[in-house]
Amino acid sequence: MSGRRAYGIVVLTGAGISRESGLSTFRDPDGIWATVRIEDVATPEAFARDPARVHAFYNARRAQLAAVKPNAAHQALARLEREWPGPVLLVTQNVDDLHDRAGSRPLHMHGELRRARCLACAETMPWTADLSTATPCPACGAAALRPDVVWFGEMPLEMDRIAAALAGCGLFVSIGTSGTVYPAAGFVADAGHARRVELNLEPSAGSASFGEAHHGPATKTVPAFVDQLLLSR
């Protein structure tokens, strides 16, 4: 690493970055929460009450991944990770694997659709098939698997690593997220010392906390922003 501009970058992404690949967001008018209630599918209480319903919801979304591909925004961020001379931490709230397939190594703070977790032995494992209440855990045999995603009321993953990166970064970029779900919505405040940029279709709930914003579809704003950043090295 060399040069005075090789500061650390933290990028936070949300459902908006995957929308142009064909995956729904949550809170847009045509989003997931317009058709299903959070309290029926995205809380530990929902899973305890009706695990078959929760499995059906996540099985459908997991199956959808086979039909979608990373878009120009995912690819631009993978290029940023490869070419930026300083550290880049890509944190995604998304449970899809489009960043991974674009060549990034994101930190999935809300877990991953293509992983399962056993409630009996706590093992987590890659998982691409459907899950059911009868599916045995490959590690311990118990029929106690759940999607390895973070529901409301649960602790997001790798918070210490994210906090350290935010504290040391020179640039924080938030992409395609409504800024309504904590703790991710608070990252812009945690990076208050850094340059803070929002790339979103429209102003998010936290827009006023960013020093700079570019509004438009992610497939346009993200490649343009990454090009500018890499030119400034």
Binding site for ligand BJW (CB under 6 A): 14-16, 19-20, 25-28, 31, 42, 93, 95, 110, 149-156, 159, 176-178, 180-183, 200-202, 204, 217-218
In the complex, the smallest distance separating the C-beta of residue 79 from ligand BJW, rounded to whole angstroms, is 18
In the complex, the smallest distance separating the C-beta of residue 35 from ligand BJW, rounded to whole angstroms, is 13
Q: Which residues of 165-204 are buried (b: 16+ CB within 10 A; e: fewer)?
A: bbeebebbbbbbbbbebeebbebbebbeebebbbbbbeeb
214 is catalytic: no
In the complex, the smallest distance separating the C-beta of residue 233 from ligand BJW, rounded to whole angstroms, is 25
Q: Which two tokens stand for residue 125?
A: 């494992």
Angle at CA of residue 135, ends 32 and 56, nearest 5°: 20
Distance CA 78, CA 156 (A): 23
In the complex, the smallest distance separating the C-beta of residue 25 from ligand BJW, rounded to whole angstroms, is 3
Of the two residues 45 and 154, which places its CB atom closer to ligand BJW in the complex?
Answer: 154
Identify the three-state secondary structure at position 90.
Answer: strand
Q: Residue number with the shortest CB distance to ligand BJW?
A: 16
Q: Which candidate in 74, 99, 108, 110 is catalytic?
A: 110
Identify the three-state secondary structure at position 34.
Answer: helix
Q: Which residues of 77-115 are buried (b: 16+ CB within 10 A; e: fewer)?
A: bbbbbeebebebbbbbbbbbbbbbbbebebbbbbbbbbb
Of the two residues 177 and 209, which places its CB atom closer to ligand BJW in the complex?
Answer: 177
Of the two residues 8 and 14, which places its CB atom closer to ligand BJW in the complex?
Answer: 14
| Catalytic residue ranges | 110
